[in-house]
Chain A
Amino acid sequence: MDIVVRNLSKRFGNFQAIDDVSFAIPGGQLVALLGPSGSGKSTILRAIAGLETPDSGTIELVGEEATNLPTQKRGIGFVFQHFALFRHMTVQQNVAFGLEIQKHPKAEVQERVQELLKLVQMTNFADRYPLQLSGGQRQRVALARALAPKPKVLLLDEPFGALDAKVRDELRVWLRRLHDESHVTSLFVTHDQQEAFEVCDQVVVLNHGKIEQIGPPQELYERPASPFVTEFLGQVNILRPETILGMQLDNERPLPVRLPGTPGGSIYVRPHDLVISREPNGLPGWPARIKRLTPLGWLARVELILPDSTPVHVQITQANSLELGLENGLDVYVRPRDLKVFEESSKAATAINYVI
């Protein structure tokens, strides 16, 4: 375990930024701290870096107690959202900074700087100043600078947040490849679930300073532990128990779901877990009317209205939509393929999965 955080808490005035957070990250992994803004993800990262002092809790880095260690002695690399390159230094000087601080011999510094510039494909820009670079180039330099002194762990705070979509996509792929080559244990803060899923081995989902769930991306998506995780990881329809009771049950098929016993419970269906057909097919479902059909390239988004006027979003392929001959105002049948029911017990929500 390269990064171990135990019972970490931090309060800013009346705002509980981190609330008793514990997790451990195995060496060599790339892990995301994922959550909406204000969920405490950046504060956790800064606490691990020693840039923020936690109120309580301990931090361990590569087997060494680090809670009270000054930032300088933690052996970390840190990458900021807004790059934070030293403006008055060239690319080369930026990358060399950490090595010079550690008083490596000049020749060695030069060699390592060249090696890193090659790694981040910035060799041709060695003598440029940061303000002469594009956003993507700046972030690559920031990464090279953080990696130069061979840190024990790499911490990235929304590293692609300030870049435009295309550059962001390229850099994600590139970061993953870089990590596969360097294997430095990395913790990555993001509010973008797609980014977390694309880049990371494990994802820690945070909300209101607390951990909601930890796991590999696909597992989180398939087995979310709470309504928050379900809602945060992609679009979802939230249905009332009454809507489920209003299903058409042909051939005396039983209701496929045990409804939540408590009033707070709700049922979650992802837009791609709903199937549209022109005729009833014997499976439990609802008649529905198409309110709006929006083709989105190879996908189509269908907005449906159920008989009890519940709006439902469905995602199907554009090919499927054409095959069914869907159009606005058309009456169709829709049935859920997969449902998640959350029982609102006194403490935490428990999830039950139904695959129909």
Chain B
Amino acid sequence: MKPSPALQNTMTWPQRFLIGAVLSWFGLLIFGPAVALARRAFAPGMGAFFEALTDPDAIQALLLTLKITVVVTISNTIFGIGMAVVLVRQRFWGRRIVDGLLDLPFAVSPVIAGLMLIILYGPKSEIGSRLESIGFPIVYHLPGMILAGMFVTLPLVVRSVAPILEEIGSDQEDVASTLGADWWTTFRRITLPTIRWGVAYGAALVVARSLGEFGALLVVSGNIIGRTQTATLYVHDQIESFDPHGAYVMSIVLATVSFCILVGLETVQNRVRQREYAAETNEDDQGAVRQMRRH
């Protein structure tokens, strides 16, 4: 609902002040820095922009980030759904401990997360050296970076799906089973469609987070240019060098992709909501809507 002009005129001074404060805060913290970055990235012109973007090292870094993001998102989405279902629907010994520890990746710095992985899987550790001897090195290679990505994004899908499962309860699933649906059919046709927006939202957060992950990857990757350098590590290196334009370009690309995913998700979600909810509620509501339109 857009406020009518009449409404705006009746706004009181404290209201105006609060709205102004919110807008300036937003401008200072989000809009300002974003515009500054965009200006710097495009300042030398579109030619330079694309030149920086097609630098072989930049392309390598982007591809690596893409690879990590795809694997991390797919595995953590599947695992996250499973974990949310188990944590909400099952009662078992240790459930609370798992539930509490699940937030560990949020609680500790990604650098520490990376460190943990090095200690456990690094070339000097028992597991790491064994795996390396059979030709499957973890740390300073792609598997280690994927593990780091999975670690830092672990809670995202679980935490966006679990509250929905909690809220809808198990009645719908129970009804499905009384109607003869087995466990898998119930999950596929009832549970999954109900939590779909939680899953999509969680997965989108995982994508955004893996695109932007830095600390854990820095520790685990060894930052070998052209081999284990991801997009964010590339940005870091370019800032250190004396020609930071490459960093601006890469940053704007990463930020735009993440932003578009989240906005796109919101749009689709609203469309479906409108279809299932508002469109034509019951008669009384319709009457009320018509009344409002007349005014």
A251 sits at the interface (CB 8 A): no
Give Cα distance in the complex from A97 to B175, angstroms: 10
Q: Is the beta-carbon distance between B180 and A72 smaller than 8 angstroms?
A: yes
Give Cα distance in the complex from A134 to B196, angstroms: 25
Q: Is the beta-carbon distance between B179 and A84 smaller than 8 angstroms?
A: no
Q: Is the beta-carbon distance between A97 and B179 smaller than 8 angstroms?
A: yes
Select one of B180, B182, B277 contacting A98, CB under 8 A: B180
Which stretch of B31-39, B230-238, B245-253, B278-286 is in the interface?
A: B278-286
Q: Is the beta-carbon distance between B277 and A132 smaller than 8 angstroms?
A: yes
Query: What B residues does A71 contact at CB under 8 A?
Result: 174, 177-178
Q: Is the beta-carbon distance between A131 and B178 smaller than 8 angstroms?
A: no
B residues 205-233 in Cβ contact with A at 8 Å: none
Query: What A residues does B179 contact at CB under 8 A?
Result: 77, 97-98, 101, 145-146, 149
B181 sits at the interface (CB 8 A): yes
Interface string of A70-88 (1 = CB under 8 A from B): 1111101110101011111
Once A and B bind, how many residue pairs between them come within 8 Å at the CB atom? 80
B129 sits at the interface (CB 8 A): no
Q: Is the beta-carbon distance between A102 and B180 smaller than 8 angstroms?
A: yes
Q: Is the beta-carbon distance between B178 and A87 smaller than 8 angstroms?
A: no
Name the residue among A101, A129, A137 with the largest chain B CB count within 10 angstroms.
A101
Name the residue among A85, A87, A132 with the largest chain B CB count within 10 angstroms.
A132
Query: What B residues does A77 contact at CB under 8 A?
Result: 178-179
A275 sits at the interface (CB 8 A): no
Q: Report, as a range, how many residues of chain B touch the other chain.
A: 20 to 34
Q: How far is the CB of A178 from chain B (nearest CB, A)?
A: 19
Given known pairs A98-B180, A134-B282, A149-B180, the reply for A84 and B175 (CB within 8 Å) is: yes
Q: How far is the CB of A185 from chain B (nearest CB, A)?
A: 15
Select one of A74, A82, A128 contacting B280, CB under 8 A: A128
Query: What B residues does A131 contact at CB under 8 A?
Result: 276-277, 281
Query: What B residues does A142 contact at CB under 8 A?
Result: 175
Q: How far is the CB of B268 from chain A (nearest CB, A)?
A: 14
A356 sits at the interface (CB 8 A): no
Q: Is the beta-carbon distance between B172 and A72 smaller than 8 angstroms?
A: no
Select one of A49, A72, A128 contacting B182, CB under 8 A: A72
Select one of A84, A101, A129, A137 contacting B277, CB under 8 A: A129
A51 sits at the interface (CB 8 A): yes
Give Cα distance in the complex from A88 to B172, angstroms: 11
Query: What B residues does A128 contact at CB under 8 A?
Result: 280
Query: What B residues does A86 contact at CB under 8 A?
Result: 172, 175-176, 190, 193-194
Give Cα distance in the complex from A86 to B181, angstroms: 13
Query: What A residues does B176 contact at CB under 8 A?
Result: 86, 97
B185 sits at the interface (CB 8 A): yes
Interface string of B177-201 (1 = CB under 8 A from A): 1111110010001100110100000
Given known pairs A71-B178, A78-B174, A149-B180, the reply for A132 and B194 (CB within 8 Å) is: no
B171 sits at the interface (CB 8 A): yes
Query: What B residues does A129 contact at CB under 8 A?
Result: 275-277
Give Cα distance in the complex from A73 to B179, angstroms: 9
Interface string of B147-186 (1 = CB under 8 A from A): 0000000000000000000001001101111111110010
Give Cα distance in the complex from A85 to B169, angstroms: 12
Query: What A residues does B193 contact at CB under 8 A?
Result: 86, 88
Give Cα distance in the complex from A142 to B176, angstroms: 12
Q: How far is the CB of B227 from chain A (nearest CB, A)?
A: 45
Query: What B residues does A319 contact at CB under 8 A?
Result: none
A133 sits at the interface (CB 8 A): yes
B residues 102-142 in Cβ contact with A at 8 Å: none
Q: Is the beta-carbon distance between A84 and B180 smaller than 8 angstroms?
A: no
3 smallest CB-CB distances across A and B, nearest first, come from: A98-B179, A84-B171, A78-B178
Q: Apart from A78-B174, A131-B277, A132-B277, what 8 extra A-B contacts exist at CB < 8 Å?
A: A49-B174, A70-B177, A72-B180, A82-B171, A88-B194, A101-B180, A129-B276, A149-B180
Residues of chain A touching chain B, judged by Cβ–Cβ distance below 8 Å, are 49, 51, 70-74, 76-78, 80, 82, 84-88, 97-98, 101-102, 128-129, 131-134, 137, 142, 145-146, 149
